[in-house]
Structure 1
Amino acid sequence: MIQDENGVTVVSILGTDYSIKAPPGEEITLLQATGMLKKALAETKRRYPTLIGDRLLVLAALNLCSQQIEMQQQHREELDRCREQVDATVDVISKTIAQG
């Protein structure tokens, strides 16, 4: 990965260079995303060694999207559990105050 004086980063993915300008302060996120994509491509290539080019890229992207959807669902479930715990705690506090 190469970054020029204008903040444009050149990343190589599957042998093709892409010039990408990240918004100010998000350069590290771009580098992390590039690393994540390259890792997903390597894992997908390991599982499906005959895939090349666009097919490999699409399958890797779909796997990343699937993981993101699963994490969002887990986050929603955890958030619901936390809300239930907070509501239960508020109920206990309210009852304690009302009895006091």
Structure 2
Amino acid sequence: MSGDGTAIKVISVLGNDYSIKVPEGKDADLTASALLLKRLLAETKAQSPTLIGERLLVLTALKLCARQVELEQRHRQEIERIEGAVSARVADIAGLIRQA
């Protein structure tokens, strides 16, 4: 552990080791992220067996980014839906207050 609350953790991806600074308490997140990456790399490799190295990493990264974009869009839609419901409730309450 360094003085700034980070530790160095080594993960291995496609036979290469990477030393990564990890904030205190985030070891499990990095481990889960590395396992997800390895699983997705294996899935991409199974779908495109001729891909190796950097090309495999780039295609996998693009798939991850596509998932992230989709999740962000769904999240935005859900926020809009909730905001609409809250606005409707506020309008209902305001109407009840005016009637009282």
Gaps of 5+ in 2: none
Overall identity of the aligned pairs, in %: 48
Alignment match, 2:89: 89
Alignment match, 1:22: 22
Q: Deviations over 1:33-76 (max 9, x none)?
A: 11111111011111101101100001001100110011000000
Q: CA deviation at 1:19?
A: 1.1
TM-score (norm 1): 0.90
TM-score (norm 2): 0.90
d(CA) in 2 for partners of 1:22, 1:28: 10
Give aligned pairs, total: 96
Q: CA deviation at 1:17?
A: 0.9
C-alpha RMSD of matched pairs (Å): 1.2
d(CA) in 2 for partners of 1:18, 1:70: 29
Q: Deviations over 1:58-100 (max 9, x none)?
A: 1001100110011000000000000000000000011011101
Q: Deviations over 1:2-49 (max 9, x none)?
A: xxx663211110011111121112111111111111111011111101
d(CA) in 1 for partners of 2:29, 2:69: 19
Alignment match, 1:69: 69
Gaps of 5+ in 1: none
